[in-house]
Amino acid sequence: MSIYLDNAATSYPKPESVYQAVMHAMREVGASPGRAGHRRSLEATRIMFQAREAAATLFCVPDASRIIFTHSATEALNLALRGTLRPGDHVVTTSMEHNSLTRPLHLLQKLGVEQTIVQAGPDGAIDPDDIRRAVMPRTRMIAIGHVSNVSGTIQPIDSISAIARAAGALFLLDAAQSAGSLPIDVVTSAIDLLAAPGHKGLYGPQGTGLLYVADHVALSPLLAGGTGTSSTSEDQPDTVPEGFESGTHNLPGIAGLKAGMEFVMEQGVAAIGEHERGLVTYAIELLQVVPQVTLHCPADPALRGAVLSFTVAGKDPTEVAFELDQYFDIAVRAGLHCAPRAHRTLGTFPGGTVRMSPGWFTTREDIAMFCEAVVQCL
């Protein structure tokens, strides 16, 4: 029996409706949205519009046109950072971030954007007071991940966004590990920029993502090119979303993402999150009694997302992951998870950890079998 516990990287399996939506877009629609007036192109445009509306509903966005489709959360984060920050600006971020946030910030630092990295605690938690102390008059943005992809730590985003608002700074939230499993309201949480992947908790295909941009945020595009609008001008349109979606859209991917978001809303974000976090808690209960296993997660269940990292005494994490895959057909991820700063914070650098991440389709039986397999790997 195959067990997939790598949903923090890419969710699998997808809902049947996602597969059907992708095939329908490819087989029955086929055309590009916004590029012609024939019925197939109009149908493609309708799918795009409905996908944008679904994303707006999911994240409580008042105006669906503020949703920009990207090919990943990484692209969305790059657009949010490089589209707003200029030399002389200051950014506050944390030691728990994924490379999709740290690397573009590092690139911008070389171009004159200053950053302060707030150190998290040994459980990956950020103290909002530390964020407040890092803010200075030049602070243009506070940029953090909602849930750590290593420790699963849920950060107090409302407290942090309040600090950003008081400082007159933008609040950028990386929702790679929370979109679809934690309720997110961009208005009540004062989120100015929200980046999310389509292929994780939103159950869409790879190659999809989105960026929400509040209407008061001035954004510059990363790419220039064909948008299907303002074709008489050589200047890139500055309208949202068209001016930020140059080139032909990934219609099959976005159709699948639409179906994935509809599935999430049908099940309920709170219900999905409760199910996934309950499975993590169950795994902790089974593994914490094993002397050779060290868990790297918050002790408080209220601070834990749907990710669990652990190490095994005397064994390299990659060895454990290999044995789980080869001998038990259980898929997990080992290593640094593209988050070396987080591992330094947790004390697991350079070897990293073994990470398991359940999804909506994971069962308690799967978790029990996984934990038993870990014991057999000792």
Q: What is the rounded radius of gyration, in angstroms, for the C-alpha atoms of the chain?
A: 21
- 350 preceded by a cis bond (ω within 30 of 0): yes
| Phi/psi of residue 352, nearest 5 degrees | 85, -160
How far is the C-alpha of 128 from the C-alpha of 23, rounded, in Å? Answer: 46
How far is the C-alpha of 377 from the C-alpha of 373, rounded, in Å? Answer: 6
- 13 preceded by a cis bond (ω within 30 of 0): yes
In this structure, are residues 177 and 148 in contact, taking their beta carbons and an 8 Å threshold?
Answer: yes
All residues at 6 or more sequence positions from 291 whose CB lies less than 8 Å from its CB, including other chains: 313
Active-site hit among 297, 338, 371, 377:
338
Tokens of 38: 């024939």
> What is the DSSP track for 213-250?
E-TT-----S--S--SSSTT-SSPP--TTGGG--S---
- Which residue is it, tokens 């200051």? 90
Instruction: State yes or no: is 338 an active-site residue.
Output: yes
Distance of CA 316 to the CA centre of its chain: 27
All residues at 6 or more sequence positions from 67 whose CB lies less than 8 Å from its CB, including other chains: 52, 55, 56, 61, 210, 211, 212, 241
All residues at 6 or more sequence positions from 258 whose CB lies less than 8 Å from its CB, including other chains: 21, 47, 50, 51, 54, 204
All residues at 6 or more sequence positions from 160 whose CB lies less than 8 Å from its CB, including other chains: 126, 128, 131, 142, 144, 171
In this structure, are residues 76 and 104 in contact, taking their beta carbons and an 8 Å threshold?
Answer: no
Catalytic site residues? 338
